[in-house]
Structure 1
């Protein structure tokens, strides 16, 4: 963002002066002095415990990354790894990180060189403000204002206006430009020392990928647990209930009352509840997907679909469970959308794994088209599900059809 400050200065001088950059630069330089003085107040007590001095840069670095927003809209990411444990564990690991020592170097600059430069810049700006206000001082307290500018003495109001115009205005403009240059250079130094290095950025990306993989696997495991509990718990109870109701119906068959009829109706309702639970279990995680893989599971979806579905999914082996589950539910949702909205007569599902170990699945229907992800959450949900696996989803659905849903997922064979 420092380059943006300098680009603003290199453009129109008038546009730069009437923009927010001079005020933002002044706020940045002024707050630097305040932070430096506050840091000195915090450092002095730490001299009683020297081992803690290397860590003084950590809070200063965090504050400086936040303060950079005065000159940049995008926040600067921290370079440190999250640490769980007590204060001693935190301090021990922080000392071992290169970012801590870079922050310490920046803190040393902040407490010495930057403090002197920024204080000098503010002092120069104060002198410029005094020169600009010179006519007011001379007009109000002429006896107290006796200024000698080289061989030029200022005693009267016209002389004060001349001094303010000939000296104060150019000096103020130069000071404002110098203030912006100083702010931009300091922001560049802060970004150089306080931003994560390429190694740290790669480490953070790897940690995010590992965290996302753990979340996906945990979600998949939880879904399978729910499916197993429904299958082994509620479904078995309903099966036993249905059997008992059937026996009761047989025992009451000769009764002239309505007991047998009511038991028969209860048995029918239990069968309907059992069928509904089985459908929900299949929707949570179909057993065929676990036992036989994606190709067989897609074939089962095609058999249950009321619209004719042509399946051409050829996979040389089993895919990771998370990939299979994501692909299966995308195909399932796509088929459901076709049945509900497309008014199609035929659907084709094709899938293949390319040499770069990426799974490509395509669902094409000859319906009326017009599918728009922005008009509902269903298609956006598919895109989000695929994005979690670092994949892509493309939808082509012109008015009049055909509609093509294509997903691309990274995968490795088990």
Structure 2
């Protein structure tokens, strides 16, 4: 058994326990608890004295926020110290303030239940817990040293008691391991119960993270649309004008003349650049997706694929933009992977809306290639999974050796 906490380590066989780092880690935990408790007591005495002496002044009014701040700092150190006797990390229960500045920070913290739990833990630690730490650490150090030093400091000790005194001091050390570890594990369990986030706090943070991720996805899509619009209305129009100008100049020059040949090459290069720019614009954000929806956009991608692609994607109507964009991204990237890596001769794009309320969009890309697709091989599958996860969907891959390869995206659209 691999012990994850000091309390679990107590169940190990005695010799294995004494050879493990758990006794020393427990002693370090309690020793650092003494130092942290002493600092907490000094901070509380200082702030309490200032609050009483300067009660009518501004400094006195700052005593309570100061104590709250001390509780937050002590709790932060305590969560880090827990790693000495508990391998599972203790997470910070606090939310990030919505605005910068100390006022926003203070307003956010004073409204959080976690802040007042930490303040209560500060008081309990200063009044009781660190004293127990001090008592146990002192006893573990003092009692063995007392026995082992007795033959050297007590001249009245009979000579026949010298060896038993030394052996007794050494023998106490292994026995002291158990109360030290038991209290360290109990103290850590108390700290975790008080200072770790509650389920409601974790849920609130998860909701906040989900909303933040949704805002980032929306901002990303807006930026993609802006880039597409700027390229379409700016650079593309200039290239069209340049290509037309070169085409007219090409008509005015003799075909066999040096100038005519140079203009002809420039005209062809301008047309190639225009074609590449149009392909880039489709990749950034295809206009057909915004105008006609996902099925038409997928048909457009399939028509430009170097492989024959069958499309069967019946949808009841337009879906949320985020779902359509994520599905389009999956189809384009999956078809690109089919063309580059699969050795397939044909591919198929299928899917539709599923679920009791029609709240899931399923898109599936299948090919008849050699299979063996590996997300770790850099084929873009990890990026596909991340893109789908950004809209709370999931990506499934089936690619046995010999094929076929199936990439399936399930995207919420309700």
- Normalising by structure 2, report the TM-score: 0.90
Distance in 2 between residues matched to 1:407 and 1:82, nearest whole Å: 33
Instruction: List aligned pairs for 1:246-395, cutoff 5 A.
Output: 246-253=247-254, 257-355=257-355, 357-395=359-397
Shift of 1:380: 2.0
Work out which of the residue numbers 54, 69, 73 in structure 1 matches 2:83.
69
Shift of 1:273: 0.8
Q: Does the 8 Å CA contact 2:4/2:88 hold for their aligned counterparts?
A: no
93-102 vs 40-49, which moves further = 40-49
* Corresponding position of 2:53: none
Shift of 1:198: 1.2
Q: Can you give the 5+ residue segments of structure 1 that lack an aligned partner in the other structure? A: 148-153
Distance in 2 between residues matched to 1:160 and 1:318, nearest whole Å: 92
Number of aligned residue pairs: 397
* Corresponding position of 1:239: 240
* Corresponding position of 2:158: 155
* Corresponding position of 2:402: 400
* Corresponding position of 1:151: none
* Corresponding position of 1:193: 194
1:298-343 residue CA offsets vs partner (Å, 9 max, x unmatched): 1111112222211111222322222211211111111111122222
Instruction: List aligned pairs for 1:114-153, cutoff 5 A.
Output: 114-131=129-146, 133-134=148-149, 138=151, 141=152, 144-145=153-154
Q: Is the counterpart of residue 51 in structure 1 residue 64 in structure 2?
A: yes
Q: Can you give the 5+ residue segments of structure 2 that lack an aligned partner in the other structure? A: 51-59
Shift of 1:193: 0.8
Distance in 1 between residues matched to 2:103 and 2:341, nearest whole Å: 61
1:137-168 residue CA offsets vs partner (Å, 9 max, x unmatched): 52xx4xx4157xxxxxx332x41221343x43
111-120 vs 300-309, which moves further = 300-309
Q: Does the 8 Å CA contact 2:4/2:87 hold for their aligned counterparts?
A: no
Distance in 2 between residues matched to 1:376 and 1:93, nearest whole Å: 43
Aligned-residue CA RMSD in angstroms?
2.1
Q: Does the 8 Å CA contact 1:55/1:95 hold for their aligned counterparts?
A: no
- Normalising by structure 1, report the TM-score: 0.90
Distance in 2 between residues matched to 1:392 and 1:257, nearest whole Å: 60
Shift of 1:15: 1.4
Distance in 1 between residues matched to 2:238 and 2:147, nearest whole Å: 90
The alpha-carbon distance between structure 1 residues 354 and 263, as it changes in their structure 2 partners (threshold 3 A), is same
